[in-house]
Structure 1
Amino acid sequence: MTNTVPHLTRRAVLLGGVSLVAACAPRGQITVLPALETADKVDVLVATNRAPVETRALFSGNRSTVTHYAEITVSVPPRHRTGEVEIHRRRADARKHFGITGAERLSDARAFGARVARRTLDLPAGQREAVVYVHGFNTNFPEALYRLGQMVHDFGVEGVPVLFSWPSGGEAGDYLYDRDSVLFARDSLEELLTQLDQSQVNRITLIGHSMGSQLIMETLRQRAIRRQGLWSKLTGVILVAPDIDVDLFTRQALEIGTLPQPFIVMTSDKDRALQLSEWVSSSRARLGTVTSSAAVAALPVTVIDTSSEADRFGGNHSTGLSSPAMIALIRGLRENEITESPLPGGGGGVALPAILSGNNPN
């Protein structure tokens, strides 16, 4: 009993804290909106091992042993503010809120591959990139979908956006369920990356947020220890607020061997969600709160400290995806062919102002 009570207390505080961090935001839901001429459209390809449902949610938080595929058109509202995902609280308005204007479920991996091929061959050779987004803890399917739509719009992504959505329970109390779901999803993510590597795309960029970063690292490690080698077209990885124990990350990286480059880790010492995660883990440091490169100095990793920025809701857990300054940074790096050039600091910690050279759009 001596050990059980503190553990339960820690878990209760963690879940309560995460609930408070997210309390200000309405939860995402699939909303079918009229196709406004003034709204931008983002066609997102989806691979998921969430169980499908016959409702507007499309996919639930339950696990599926089969990977399901879809193509969904996300509508970005004309009144969109950079970095935000505008979700309606009561009545949806296509001028103000994210929604979808169309959705098609694809029958299997072959149909998905054909859609990737068609989308890729319609692009100029220099833009034939697949950008794969892996969301984090406490995220339902619509929230992951709209976040990728926001990123594509704000970051100026011109390639093929792909959402890999793993079965998060979508509730603050599902932390342990979500951690197990990450392990459950490794094979499906590996299959997706293999298919993209064999497709007509020229390069693949992986973006993971929070617990999604753990899924990315576990999948890369799994591929490496099978002695199959990483995918040749995987040319960049960005981990935003990674909810990974620092020692575990180091071990994963060593098992992987040669990390894709660039390999960017966005961190903040003001990330409330990760601070809570550290506390419930007996103060074990999370990678997403490490603002010095010392902890990962032996690895070819660029740490970008985003502590000077803040996200809309004050929890600072989505700063790398939502801060206008960070969006300007990533957009600028992408436009300067970051897949072919080392980032400033090459493996060391880089403060945000140093990269932006004082050019903060705020």
Structure 2
Amino acid sequence: MDVNLDSVLESLNKIDNDLFCTFSTFSKYHVNIREGKVYFSTGGRERNVELDTLIDLIFDVYTLRSFYYEDYRRDYANAAYLIPVAYYVLNDLGVELLKFEPPTKGWDKVIFEVENIHSQIDACMFDAEDTADVYHKSAAKLFDADYAKNSLAYGTPNISPTKLITQRNETLVDVHYSTNREYDESAKEYTSVKCNKNRYGVACVSVPETHRSGNIEKPKWWKLELTEKRGKHFVVVETTEQKPDIFFSSLKTKNESKRVLVFIHGFNVSFNEGLKKAAQIKYDLGVDFPVVLYSWPSLGKVSGYIKDKETALYSSNYLHEFITKLNAEGYEEVLYIAHSMGNLCLSEAVNQGFNQSVPSSRAILAAADVERQTFLDRYAESINSFFNHVSLYVSSRDRALLVSKKANKEIRVGDSTDNSVFVCDHSETIDISDNDGGFWSLKHSYISETNVVLNDVYFNLIKGLKASERRLLELQNRKNQIYWKFHEA
């Protein structure tokens, strides 16, 4: 289940005078929620906090992936009582908590103290079944009562504390890239200035060990995190520019599958942000073959929308050149993911045609910021001719495309508002409106932000299963055209 405001409230609604214990002093207390407040009862004393405060802490724990008390004590006066409730909620929502930062005293101390509590349980100081119920009232399917009683905090699986504490490392992910951005030698970075040629290279991106699928961990300004930190955030460690022949040769090194995945980013994306997104997609999909970012020189800011549209069209020539060279390398299969305005760049590139045989290829066109009629009249035929299989991922709640619709005075391919799901012959449309990111999301980058969509992308793009072969619900739009949607959880 996704962690969003609705699911958190649903989980909190299950709490009814439940017994909890703190992770620091292991003091026992009961929790009630009523009239917008959370009440903690310890013996004859009762204190309360606003429900919004608890919800804020739950999302902080989920974002920071930490139960470490010091991370929260300055922002939350009753953090010691709130943290165990956050554990209960996230566990109830099926979040894997094994790799979260442990409580203040570490797992060893917690286990020791819980064993002392167990002895009190046996002495009938309070009911063991009630205690086990604290964290597993709604998760009994995961742990039986005996297992809950004999594991950390009445539910965390028995694991090596040392392993958890020391595994605060990183995974280094290689991302190949081609770009028509200029390179600033003094700043040592690719800019938003157009280059009159493609440049090639490979980047190394650090993915934190605590990475949560669908997320790109970044510094949080409200946590006074001003710089990126390896092992905690996504960090571009280095980029190494290569000559074209070395670049294309490196794509084939240790590539037994003879496949490659090309990702074309959208509007408002800097070069480094594009690398991080490509690395996240590669990591979360478990891809064991090269992923190439094609990065056109977006300005990397919201105010640059009109300029970015012109640049995406301009860059299509260079993307066409790159695809032409890639086709000549003899791959068995080339996969494509284009996002947002990247679809305009890809569509225009493919529309130029290729005077060569092309490898088998599949494409996902996600949140396509292309006018519908233009797509049908100008691009659909060439796209369906070039790709063996095309999937359009659309949403009715994509806030970025709603803005684009107003700015361009035309509805976009990726916009399914007013029950007008766009369907094109010889392609499949998947409407993900109910699975498009959390409460605070712009709901535009859903292709890589939610696990249910990532899972579908995996079976679609990597495994090559058609919509009828995946767990999707077949529906019809107002024109009686077939499209697909995820089953309700």
TM interval, short-chain normalised: 0.7 to 0.9
Question: Is 1:131 matched up with 2:261?
Answer: yes
1:310 corresponds to which letter in structure 2?
A: D
Check whether the contact 1:57–1:142 (CA below 8 A) recurs between aligned residues: no
Alpha-carbon distance between aligned partners in 2 of 1:311 and 1:105, rounded to the nearest angstrom: 35
Offset at residue 207 of structure 1 (A): 0.6
**Alignment-derived partner of residue 94 in structure 1:** 230
TM-score by length of 2: 0.59
2:337 corresponds to which letter in structure 1?
A: I
Shifted more, 93-102 versus 58-67: the winner is 93-102
> Structure 2 residue aligned with 1:281, among 408, 427, 437?
408
Offset at residue 294 of structure 1 (A): 6.3
Q: Structure 1 residues 37 and 155 mapped into 2: Cα distance closer, same or farther (>3 Å)?
A: same
Question: Is 1:218 matched up with 2:218?
Answer: no
Alpha-carbon distance between aligned partners in 2 of 1:293 and 1:238, rounded to the nearest angstrom: 20
Alpha-carbon distance between aligned partners in 1 of 2:391 and 2:340, rounded to the nearest angstrom: 14
Offset at residue 59 of structure 1 (A): 0.4
Q: Secondary structure at the match of 1:208?
A: strand
| Root-mean-square deviation over aligned CA pairs | 2.5
**Alignment-derived partner of residue 311 in structure 1:** 437
Alpha-carbon distance between aligned partners in 1 of 2:400 and 2:420, rounded to the nearest angstrom: 21
Give the number of aligned pairs.
308
Q: Secondary structure at the match of 1:296?
A: coil
Q: Structure 1 residues 314 and 180 mapped into 2: Cα distance closer, same or farther (>3 Å)?
A: same
Offset at residue 84 of structure 1 (A): 0.8
1:141 corresponds to which letter in structure 2?
A: F
2:453 corresponds to which letter in structure 1?
A: M
**Alignment-derived partner of residue 41 in structure 1:** 172
**Alignment-derived partner of residue 28 in structure 1:** none
Stretches of structure 2 that go unaligned for 5 or more consecutive residues are: 1-166, 220-224, 476-480
Deviations 1:254-279 (A, max 9, x none): 35562513201110000011011111
Pair member with larger Rg: 2
Check whether the contact 2:353–2:382 (CA below 8 A) recurs between aligned residues: no
Question: Is 1:240 matched up with 2:372?
Answer: no
Alpha-carbon distance between aligned partners in 2 of 1:204 and 1:352, rounded to the nearest angstrom: 26
**Alignment-derived partner of residue 486 in structure 2:** 352
Q: Secondary structure at the match of 1:111?
A: helix
1:207 corresponds to which letter in structure 2?
A: I
Q: Structure 1 residues 301 and 342 mapped into 2: Cα distance closer, same or farther (>3 Å)?
A: farther
Alpha-carbon distance between aligned partners in 1 of 2:468 and 2:172, rounded to the nearest angstrom: 31
Offset at residue 281 of structure 1 (A): 1.9
Check whether the contact 1:253–1:259 (CA below 8 A) recurs between aligned residues: no
**Alignment-derived partner of residue 115 in structure 1:** 250
Question: Is 1:337 matched up with 2:464?
Answer: yes
> Structure 1 residue aligned with 2:190, among 37, 59, 65?
59
**Alignment-derived partner of residue 250 in structure 1:** 376
Alpha-carbon distance between aligned partners in 2 of 1:265 and 1:259, rounded to the nearest angstrom: 15
Q: Percent identity?
A: 25
Offset at residue 235 of structure 1 (A): 1.1
**Alignment-derived partner of residue 451 in structure 2:** 324
Alpha-carbon distance between aligned partners in 1 of 2:290 and 2:455, rounded to the nearest angstrom: 20
**Alignment-derived partner of residue 316 in structure 2:** 186
Offset at residue 77 of structure 1 (A): 0.5
Stretches of structure 1 that go unaligned for 5 or more consecutive residues are: 1-35
Offset at residue 105 of structure 1 (A): 1.1
Check whether the contact 1:44–1:72 (CA below 8 A) recurs between aligned residues: yes
Shifted more, 193-202 versus 207-216: the winner is 193-202
Shifted more, 243-252 versus 53-62: the winner is 53-62
Deviations 1:213-233 (A, max 9, x none): 111111111126xxx36x521
